[in-house]
């Protein structure tokens, strides 16, 4: 089938390449001419494992092309996936739908009357599809098909999804989406059909639940710090209960990125618009607990640095909000680095993939390409993004270059026994006995 993907940011670029990989002819469309040129050359504009090779392969095959023209998109295909961003509005926690609304307004005059299907993948507040559908003036059907991508695993999540949710109004829309996703459902992917409102809601509800689980175990880490209990043992014991499960029950610095923080705030704002603020009031606490972990990590750093970070040298391991990504949006690691700098520390930051993006977003910090050089003469090292490269560091070799062998493991992926045997003092949130 022929498909267009409108918006070639993170979601759109991955979706376009993966749909072409499954055999469809795909045209990716974006207003950013520089991005389009880069994608057309087979080069992804961001780091995502597996995407580069797939992009080059599908471009070379001719199944994937790119354009800046919406009229060309309308002429190319009858099915259009809407993958533009919905960032948080600067004046509130609500989602900014300007890009979604602009595409609907600009594309509609070019659509083939009654034959087109516009499929939303952007994360939007519940009720958005119902509000937008009349604006299509009968030129197209409107369905919602939310994405459930994890940065660092996006290609796998697209080609081997845990579920495909299709929020449709008509049997024709359902049939077309089933045909598009047939290669994935044939491999076992569940295909869940629902109305558009439920499809919109499932993305925000899922992310809100995951955020709640992370903040819950971080709240327990605070209790562990106060009582001498060990949060990792607590999490393991809780996760052994099949009703709870171990996934996302991972204490540490908390979540960041472009999805969970934005989505729980947008969900809260939409509930308030519906007069249901009390139903999701707990999400404000989830957000506050998450933000508090950043301050607590800085507090651990001060403790290891002798009570103050003023005039101290701090090495930060990690800039991306999560490993296997170069995304620094709402990065907890960079928030901690900036707070350490504000408290008077000289901060050097290392990351395997995200330094260019981090440098652009935080020009006041110092960025170092070599992890050992980042740690030279450091009074305290902060392990803030759980890249496997950091787990594999030699603590004895690193101890030889720092001023003081003291480290905060805010991600709980370092082996305390190994590091302490190499002469390090290691602190981790929720594990007071390690300090």
Contacts of 324 (CB under 8 A, 6+ apart): 47, 48, 49, 151, 152, 153, 353, 387
Cα–Cα distances (Å) from 407 to 102, 241, 279, in that order, read: 48, 32, 41
Catalytic residue flag (residue 224): no
Give the integer Cα–Cα distance in Å for 57 and 41: 11
Domains 2-192 and 204-287 share a fold: no
Record the pTM.
0.93
DSSP β-bridge partners for residue 366 = 348
**Residue of 18, 224, 259, 427 with catalytic role:** 259
| CB-side neighbour CA atoms (13 Å) of 323 | 12
Domain 292-434 annotated CATH 3.40.50.720? yes
Tokens representing residue 237 in the block: 């014991």
Tokens representing residue 135 in the block: 């604006």
CATH class of 2-192: alpha beta
Query: What would you report as the CA-atom Rg of the chain, rounded to the nearest whole angstrom?
Result: 23
Check whether domain 204-287 has CATH 1.10.1040.10, yes or no:
yes
Q: No. of H helices and E strands in the chain?
A: 19, 14
Q: Which residues contact 221 (CB under 8 A, 6 or more apart)?
A: 231, 251, 252, 429, 430
- Rounded Cα distance, 147 and 9, in Å: 13
Q: What ranges do the domains of the chain cover?
A: 2-192, 204-287, 292-434
Residue 96 vs residues 101, 277, 337, 369: alpha-carbon distances, Å: 10, 19, 28, 36
Query: Tens place of pLDDT for every residue, the chain, 435 residues?
Result: 999 999 999 999 999 999 999 999 999 999 999 999 999 999 999 999 999 999 999 999 999 999 999 999 999 999 999 999 999 998 888 999 999 999 999 999 999 777 899 999 999 999 999 999 999 989 999 999 999 999 999 999 999 999 999 999 999 999 999 999 999 999 999 999 999 999 999 999 999 999 999 999 999 999 999 999 999 999 999 999 999 999 999 999 999 998 999 999 999 999 999 999 999 999 999 999 999 999 999 999 999 999 999 999 999 999 999 999 999 999 999 999 999 999 999 999 999 999 999 999 999 999 999 999 999 999 999 999 999 999 999 999 999 999 999 999 999 999 999 999 999 999 999 998 776
């Amino acid at each position: 089938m022929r498909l267009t993907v409108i918006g070639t940011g993170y979601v759109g670029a991955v979706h376009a390449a993966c749909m072409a990989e499954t055999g469809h002819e795909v045209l990716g469309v974006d207003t950013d001419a520089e991005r389009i040129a880069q994608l057309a050359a087979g080069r992804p504009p961001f780091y995502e494992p597996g995407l580069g090779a797939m992009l080059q392969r599908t471009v070379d095959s001719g199944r994937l092309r790119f354009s800046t023209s919406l009229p060309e998109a309308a002429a190319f295909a009858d099915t259009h996936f809407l993958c533009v961003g919905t960032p948080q509005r600067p004046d509130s926690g609500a989602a900014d739908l300007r890009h979604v609304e602009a595409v609907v307004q600009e594309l509609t005059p070019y659509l083939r009357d009654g034959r087109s299907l516009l499929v939303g993948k952007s994360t939007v507040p519940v009720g958005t599809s119902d509000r937008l559908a009349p604006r299509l003036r009968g030129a197209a059907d409107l369905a919602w098909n939310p994405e459930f991508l994890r940065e660092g695993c996006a290609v796998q999540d697209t080609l081997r999804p845990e579920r495909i949710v299709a929020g449709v109004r008509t049997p024709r829309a359902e049939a077309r989406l089933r045909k598009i996703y047939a290669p994935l459902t044939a491999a076992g992917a569940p295909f869940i059909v629902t109305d558009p409102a439920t499809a919109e809601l499932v993305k925000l509800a899922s992310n809100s639940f995951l955020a709640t689980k992370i903040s819950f175990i971080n709240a327990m880490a605070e209790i562990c710090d106060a009582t001498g209990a060990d949060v990792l043992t607590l999490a393991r014991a809780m996760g052994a209960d099949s009703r709870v499960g171990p996934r996302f029950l991972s204490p540490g610095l908390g979540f960041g990125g472009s999805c969970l923080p934005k989505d729980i705030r947008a969900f809260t704002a939409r509930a308030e618009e519906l007069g249901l603020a009390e139903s999701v009031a707990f999400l404000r606490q989830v957000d506050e607990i998450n933000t508090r972990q950043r301050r607590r990590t800085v507090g651990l750093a001060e403790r290891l640095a002798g009570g103050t970070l003023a005039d101290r040298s701090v090495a930060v391991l990690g800039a991306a909000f999560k490993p296997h990504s170069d995304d620094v949006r709402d990065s907890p690691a960079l928030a901690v680095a900036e707070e350490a700098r504000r408290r008077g520390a000289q901060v050097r930051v290392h990351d395997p993939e995200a330094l260019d993006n981090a440098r652009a977003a935080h020009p006041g910090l110092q960025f170092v390409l070599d992890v050992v050089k980042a740690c030279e003469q450091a009074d305290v090292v902060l392990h803030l993004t759980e890249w496997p490269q950091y787990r594999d560091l030699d603590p004895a070799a690193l101890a030889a270059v720092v001023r003081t062998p003291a480290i905060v493991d805010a991600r709980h992926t370092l082996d305390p026994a190994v590091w302490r045997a190499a002469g390090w003092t290691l602190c981790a949130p929720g594990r007071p006995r390690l300090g």
